[in-house]
Chain A
Amino acid sequence: MFISKFFLLLLGITVPAFFVLPVRWRAGVLLAASYAFCAYVEPRALLILVAVTASVYFAALSIEKYRDRGSGGTERKITLAAVCGLSFLLVMYKYAAYLARSFGCADRLSASVIDNLLMPVGLSFYSFQAIGYLVDVYRGKSAVEKSFCHFALYLSFFPKLVSGPIERGERFFPQIKRLGEVRFRNRGRMSAAFTYMLWGYFMKLVVADRLGGIVGPLFGNPEEFDSLWLLLGVMLYSVQIYCDFAGYSYIAIGCAKVFGIELKENFRAPYRAVNMQEFWRRWHISLSEWLRDYIYIPLGGNRKGAVRKNCNILLVFLVCGAWHGAGQHFLVWGLLHGIYLLIDSVTGQRMKSRILTFWMAGFAWIFFRADSLGGAFRYIRQMATAGFRPERFRQAVESLQLNTVEIGVTAIGIFIVWLIDWLCEREKMQLPVFIQQKSNGKRYLVFYLLLMTIFIFGVYGAGYHTEQFIYMRF
C-alpha cells in the first residue's frame, strides 16, 4: 500500500492538516486518515475494524469497572469472552475460505460469500493488539483508555494498520496524548523519518520486488531448474521476504515519526543471528514479543520443567505458523521453527553459526513461500535430486529474464542491505539513527544516492506489477 498513489495523496493531505489545524484535533485527523486508508484498501475491512474497536473499547471499560468493584470474577469472564471472540473472528477469517475450499464447499458458495470470508486487511495485526490490550487491562498492567478516539487510533493508525508492528497500549497511548507537543520544524525527527522511509522504499522497490521476479518462476516451476538454481531460489527468497517486510516496517516507522509517533522496531539485522533463538529476537520483534508475553508465559514458559517448556515452544510456533496463513505448509513452517528452537534449547545454544542459521531459516521459508505442503516438498525433492545441469544454464537465465544489468543491480542491492545490516550491528543502532550522527554533507549524500537509486532502479510504474507487500496477506 505504501507504493500506491492514494497513500502518497493521503500523506500529502494528512501532514499539512495535522500541523495546521488546532492541536487538539490531531488525534482526530490521524483517525480520519486511518479510516480513509482502511476504506480505500478494503471498504468491508473498515466496518469490521469499527465493530472490533467499539467492542473492545466497551469490553475494556467493563473489565476495569468490575475489577475496581472487586466483583469476583466478572471481569475475568468478560476478558475471556472478548479474547475468545477476537480469536474466533481471527480464526474464522483465516480459515473459513481455506476450509471451504479444502472440503469442496467453495463451489457451492457464491463468489461474494467467498470474498466476504477472506481476511480483512489488518485484522491479524489489530486483533493481536486488542487481545494484548484487554489482557493488560485485566491484569491491571495497563490503564483503560477512556478516549474512544485515542483507542480507535491505537488499533487503526494507518502506517501500521496493514502489517504492523504490533504495538502495545502502554507505549502508544502516552504518545497520542503528547501529539500536541509535536512541532513540524524538528530537523532531527523529520530527517530520521525521511531516512526510515527512503531506506524502506529501497529495500522494498529496489531489492524485494526485483527478487520477486526471480523467485516467482523458481517456486512456480521448480522442475525447470537444477539444484543450484533452486538453492539460489531459497537464498533469494530469504532476502526477498526480509527486504519486503523490513522495508514495509521502516516505511511505517518513518511515516509515524512524521507525526511524532515512535513505532516499535520490528527488525534488527535478523540474518546476522548466530542461532535460531537469536533470529527470533531480531525477526518480526513485535510478533515474537507478543507471542512470548501472551501465549508462552501464560502457558508456563520455562517455569514448569523442560518437557513443558519444550511443549510450550512448539505450541507457540504452531500458533505463529497458523497466524501467518491457512494451510498445512504454514503449520509446518511454524513447527520447523519450533523444532529449531528445541534443538537450540537442548544443545544449550552451543551452535553458533550465521551461515547455518541463515540456511535453516531459508529451508523453513520454502514451506512459507510454497502454495501448499505438496508444493514445498516438490521444491525440496527437485532441489535434492536435480543435480547440476550446466547445459540448461542459458535456458534458466532466459526463463528468469535475467540480464547483466538486472543481475548487477540485484547483487549490488543485496550487498548494500548486507552492508547496512553489518554497520547497524556494529554501531548497535538503526541506519536512520546512525545517519543523524553524521555531518549534513554525508547525510545529504545518502539521501541523494537512495533517492536516485529508487527513482531509476525501483520496480514501479507501468509494465511492472509491483508485488503486494507479502505481509499484507497475513
Chain B
Amino acid sequence: MLRAGFLLLLIATFYLASSILRVKSGHGINQLEGLYWQPEHSIDVMMMGSSHIHCNVNTALLWEKYGIAAYDYSGAEQPLWMSYYYLKELYKYQSPEVIVLDLYVPARYKSDYQYDWISENILGMRFSANKLKMMAVSVEKSRYFQYFPSFTIYHSRYDDLEKDDFNDFFWNSGEKEDFKGYTPYWQRTPQTKPEISENGKGGLTEKSEKYLRKIIAYTKEKGSKLVLMAAPYVLTAEDKLTYNQVAEIAESEGIVFVDFNEYYDEMELDFAQDFNDASHLNYWGGCKFSDYLGEFLVARFELSDRRGQAGYESWDDHVVLIAKELQNYQNGMMGQQEDAQ
C-alpha cells in the first residue's frame, strides 16, 4: 500500500514537474503537442511543413469563412524526413481528408541533418516508436542524447519559468484544444517583390526526395489527398528550381502542387504591408493568403462545412482566441502611439 502510494506520488510529482518545466514554444513544440489535445478524428485539413505554415495559414479565418476544420501541424525549418514521422504520428489520432504540405525547407536547406531548429520539432512529440525513428533519421548518433530524452533537456528550466508554464496541465485541456497551431507574426517589414522566371529543375536532395516520395505513398495508403505547395514569401531563383522539380514529381505521382508565389497579385499581397520578414507573411498577409488557400481547397475538394456541428466548438473558441490576440496587438500599438505623443 505504502509502496503504491510512493509510486503514485512520484508519478504525480514527475507529471507536475514535467508539465511546468516542459519547453513551450510557438515555433513547433506547441503545434505538435497541441495535436494530442484535439478531439480525435475531427481535423479535415492538416497543414504541414515549416514556419511558413503556422505563421501564414490562419486556421481561424479558414474556419470562420469556409467552415474548414484545419490545424497547423508544423515546426520551424522542418525537413521532410521529420514531416514523414509527424505524418505517421498524426494518423494515430486523426484521419484528415486533405494534407497540405509546404516545401520551403527542401527548397532552401540542402543539408541531410538540420539542427538549427531541430529541438522545436522533437520536444513536442510524445515518446513513441515514431519519435525514435524520427530521431534516428534526423540526428547523427553522436548528438542523439542532446535531444533525448526530453526531460534531460528541459529539467533545468526552473530559473526560467513564466506564468504560462503553470498552465499546461490536463485540467487545462479546454484551452489546449482551442489552439490550432496558428501563430501570427505582427511586424510590417516592406519587401521587394521578386521577379523570377526560372524554368530549370533541380536541387531537391536525395534524402528530401526519398522522404517526399514516402510521404506521397503514405498519404495514398491512408486515403488522404495530398496537396504540395509553396506558401508565399520572397522567392529566389534557386528555390524556384526545386519547386519546378517538385512540380514534375507531383505530376508523375498524380497529385497537386501549387507554388503560391505565382499568385502574389491574385491574392492581392502588398509587399509594403503584408510581410513580417522576407520569409514570413504577417497577420494581414496571412489572412489574404489563407483566404486564397481556403477558396482553393473548397473548390478543389469536397470538404464538409463543420460550422455549427457538435464536437467542433473549439474552432469557434479558436476564432475568439485569434481575435483576442489581434485586439491585444492593436491595444499595444495604441499604447505605443500614446506614449510617443
Contacts and interface: CB of A to CB of B under 8 A. Distances in A.
Interface stretch (A129-137, A146-154, A456-464): A456-464
Question: Looking at A405, A440, A448, A461, which has the most chain B CB atoms within 10 Å of its CB?
Answer: A461
A455 B159 contact: no
Contacts of A405: 158-159
Given A447-B6, A456-B17, A457-B158, A462 B147 contact: yes
Interface string A298-338: 00000000000000000000000000000000000000000
8 contacts: A444-B5, A448-B13, A451-B10, A452-B10, A452-B17, A460-B155, A462-B146, A462-B152
A461 B156 contact: yes
A455 B156 contact: no
Interface in A429-468: 440-441, 444, 447-448, 451-452, 455-464
B6 A406 contact: no
A69 interface: no
A448 B6 contact: yes
A455 B156 CA distance: 9
Given A455-B14, A456-B21, A406 B159 contact: yes
A460 B152 contact: yes
B160 to A, nearest CB: 9
A440 B147 CA distance: 37
B263 interface: no
B272 interface: no
A455 B13 CA distance: 11
B6 A461 contact: no
A401 to B, nearest CB: 10
Contacts of B9: 448
Given A447-B6, A455-B17, A456-B21, A461 B159 contact: no
Contacts of B159: 403-406
Contact of A461 (B5, B17, B152): B152
B12 to A, nearest CB: 11
A406 B159 CA distance: 8
A461 B155 contact: yes
A462 B145 CA distance: 7
Contacts of A444: 2-3, 5-6
B243 to A, nearest CB: 35
Question: Which 3 A/B pairs are nearest by Cβ-Cβ distance?
Answer: A461-B152, A405-B159, A462-B146
Interface of B is mostly: helix
Interface string B145-177: 111000111011011000000000000000000
Nearest to B14: A455
Interface residues of B, number: 20
Interface string B54-97: 00000000000000000000000000000000000000000000
Contacts of B5: 444
A463 B14 CA distance: 21
A426 interface: no
A5 B141 CA distance: 14
Contacts of A403: 159
Interface string B8-30: 01100110010001000000000
A451 B9 CA distance: 12
A134 B268 CA distance: 90
Contacts of A5: 145
Interface string A191-202: 000000000000
Contact of A464 (B2, B17, B147, B156): B156
Contacts of B151: 455, 461
Contact of B153 (A406, A441, A447, A462): A462
Given A462-B145, A462-B146, A462-B147, A455 B155 contact: yes
A92 B146 CA distance: 37
B10 A448 contact: yes
Contacts of A457: 156, 158
Nearest to A440: B2
Given A444-B6, A460-B152, A464-B156, 10 more contacts: A5-B145, A404-B159, A406-B159, A440-B2, A444-B2, A452-B13, A455-B14, A455-B17, A456-B155, A458-B155
B158 A456 contact: yes
Interface string B130-155: 00000000000000011100011101
Nearest to A444: B6
B156 A463 contact: yes
Interface in A17-51: none
Question: Looking at B10, B13, B147, B156, which has the most chain A CB atoms within 10 Å of its CB?
Answer: B156
B168 to A, nearest CB: 16
A170 to B, nearest CB: 38
Nearest to B6: A444
A403 B158 CA distance: 11
Contacts of B3: 444
Question: Looking at A406, A440, A455, A460, which has the most chain B CB atoms within 10 Å of its CB?
Answer: A455
A206 B248 CA distance: 57
Given A5-B145, A405-B158, A461 B2 contact: no
Contacts of B13: 448, 452
B149 to A, nearest CB: 8
Interface string A383-403: 000000000000000000001
Contacts of B2: 440-441, 444
Contacts of A464: 156
Contacts of A440: 2
B19 to A, nearest CB: 13
Contacts of B155: 455-456, 458, 460-461
A387 to B, nearest CB: 31
Question: Looking at A444, A457, A459, which has the most chain B CB atoms within 10 Å of its CB?
Answer: A444
Nearest to B160: A405
A5 B144 CA distance: 12
Contacts of B152: 460-462
B161 to A, nearest CB: 9
Nearest to A451: B10
B64 to A, nearest CB: 41
Contacts of B10: 448, 451-452
A74 to B, nearest CB: 53
Contacts of A406: 159
Contacts of B158: 405, 456-457
A195 B148 CA distance: 27
